[in-house]
Chains A and B, each alone.
Chain A
Amino acid sequence: MKRTASAPPAFPYRDLLWEMTRGEILMRDQGTALGFLWTLLHPILMFIVLYGLFSKWMGKFVDQYVAYLLIGLVLWNFFQKATSYALGSLRRARGTILNYRFPREIVVFSSLGAVSWSSLLEIGVLMGALLLLGQTPRWTWLLLPGLLALELLLATAVGLFLAVWGAEYQDLERIWDVLTSAMFYMTPVFYPLEILSPRKQVILSLNPMTQIIQAFRGCAVSGRPPEPAALLALFLGGLILAAAGLLLLRRREFEVADKLLV
């Protein structure tokens, strides 16, 4: 049962991560301007529909509803795309995994990297839109990259688990689709938290995406910095979960290879 390697290969993982991420980005057609416009279409369409339906109603509770909705959609999309893309990553990389020996987490990280790239472009567009809407840059904007990094950390943590389980169970992709659809409505993306009963507000506040989206809105629009305690808890939780996910992937590496092979 024992396998020993007296000379562990010293791979330059950084180059590999870069090459694979770049490959993923080009493969998803985001290397081209047209490809990027194509990915923007989904959030824009969502925005038009939700804004058309709810602007009058929600506008009573939030000023700047356009900015409110845009931020919610872009940040939610990032999480949703990153986790579902990570879920299928090991399965998609079957050929690579069965032909080359390298740390398997690079597959997951490169998928997350590709999604991060497209989301970063979306956020660039979002910030442009905020300026057009009359927002002026404030010092709290400096906190926004940190919030995005926190969201990436959470997506990585969830994505690592999903990638391992997704290689094993073929229907997990469908299940995660359903779960994220439900989560979309349980996150204040297009409605303000305040319209719910206090008890429900508490429940929804436990959703990490609620915390991140609300903090982003606070920093970007109202110039209100987030409460550090909640975000610190999220950061530590995300760190622990990501470490656990990494450990799971390393432990299950050979089982995953078996599953991909037969």
Chain B
Amino acid sequence: MGSDIVIRAEGLGKRFLIGTRDERRTVATRLRRALTGATSQRELWALRGLDLEIRRGDIFGIIGPNGAGKSTLLLLLARILAPSSGRLRVDGKTDPFFQLAAGLRPNLSVRDNLSLCAALLGIPNKEFKRLLPQILDFSGLHDYLYARYGELSSGLAARLPFAVALHADLDIILIDEMLAVGDRTFQAQCTEAIKDLARRGKTLVLASHSLDMVRTLCSRALYLREGEAAFCGDATAAVKRLIADADRAESRS
């Protein structure tokens, strides 16, 4: 049973050093700091003392208000950021999708961006050529293959990285608020794809404000509040807690 756990965090914390408002990060300020010994940096703990276990084949939700640490957690799971405290173990090939079109090139064609995205996700070129028809079928971008990527509507643009990522052989898929874009048809398609991936033993972690989606898709969920776990367990219960907290905060104000 222990081997089934693909993500395990113990006391996980992430701290950022942020400069004060009127100070920029420059060689000049660094020199001044070295000379005067004054530190202008402030600590911000985006995530603190988090314990977490996610099993293979789970669809795991992360909910919480803005600034609660959802994206930071995904970046840690993706091994793009390093934890400041605690331990984190992630087994398997993973890649996140946060801002969808980030890293792609609006001036180049859809075809060029598809191959760039595939390379970024670690799909070898040969494999990409074989997968291309499937990717195009899924994304519905057939007619736009030689259009400039930047000219696509934001909904269509969002389909590109998602379609490629679904065809990359990832073990753990991290999704940050991505189904919000795209029309109903594409959303339904993605929901199906996510369920199918989970059936095939892939692990999915979704950070979302769409509580309905988390309730219907996820079995378990983590409710983050100000960088700490307010609740971790059954997805429906997590959503209930968040709604209760939000209602309380609203009635107080």
Contacts and interface: CB of A to CB of B under 8 A. Distances in A.
B10 to A, nearest CB: 10
B79 interface: yes
Given A3-B88, A26-B107, A20 B116 contact: yes
Contact of B99 (A20, A23, A99, A170): A99
A145 to B, nearest CB: 27
Contacts, number: 121
Contacts of B26: 169-171
B79 A5 contact: yes
Given A1-B85, A5-B90, A175-B27, A99 B122 contact: no
Interface in B85-103: 85-99, 102-103
Contact of A15 (B28, B107, B119): B119
Interface of B: 16-18, 24-28, 30, 44, 75, 78-83, 85-99, 102-103, 105, 107-108, 112, 115-116, 119-122, 124-125, 171
A10 B30 CA distance: 38
B24 A102 contact: no
A19 B44 CA distance: 37
Given A100-B103, A172-B27, 11 more contacts: A3-B82, A4-B89, A5-B79, A15-B119, A19-B119, A95-B103, A100-B95, A169-B30, A257-B81, A258-B17, A261-B16
A19 B104 CA distance: 11
Contacts of B92: 7
B215 to A, nearest CB: 27
A101 B88 CA distance: 16
Contacts of B88: 3
Contacts of A19: 115-116, 119-120
A33 B128 CA distance: 30
Nearest to A102: B120
A175 B121 CA distance: 35
Contact of B120 (A16, A170, A254): A16
Contacts of B112: 22-23, 26
A23 B102 contact: no
B82 to A, nearest CB: 4
A163 to B, nearest CB: 15
B35 to A, nearest CB: 16
A254 B81 contact: yes
25 contacts: A1-B86, A5-B91, A9-B93, A12-B119, A12-B122, A12-B124, A15-B125, A16-B120, A19-B119, A20-B119, A22-B112, A26-B112, A95-B103, A98-B75, A98-B80, A98-B98, A98-B103, A99-B103, A100-B95, A100-B120, A102-B120, A170-B26, A172-B27, A254-B81, A257-B81
Interface string A14-49: 011011101100110000000000000000000000
A12 to B, nearest CB: 4
Given A7-B93, A12-B124, A26-B112, A101 B79 contact: yes
B120 A96 contact: yes
**7 nearest CB pairs, A to B:** A95-B102, A96-B103, A254-B82, A171-B26, A19-B119, A16-B119, A11-B122
Contacts of B95: 100-101
B124 A15 contact: yes
A6 B80 contact: no
B29 to A, nearest CB: 9
Nearest to B103: A96
A60 interface: no
Nearest to B78: A101
A156 B119 CA distance: 23
Interface string A127-151: 0000000000000000000000000
A254 B83 CA distance: 9
Nearest to B26: A171
A259 interface: yes
Nearest to B107: A27
Contacts of A99: 80, 96-99, 102-103
A169 B27 contact: yes
A215 B24 CA distance: 43
Contacts of B122: 9-12, 16, 102
A97 interface: yes
A96 B102 contact: yes
A262 B14 CA distance: 13
B129 to A, nearest CB: 11
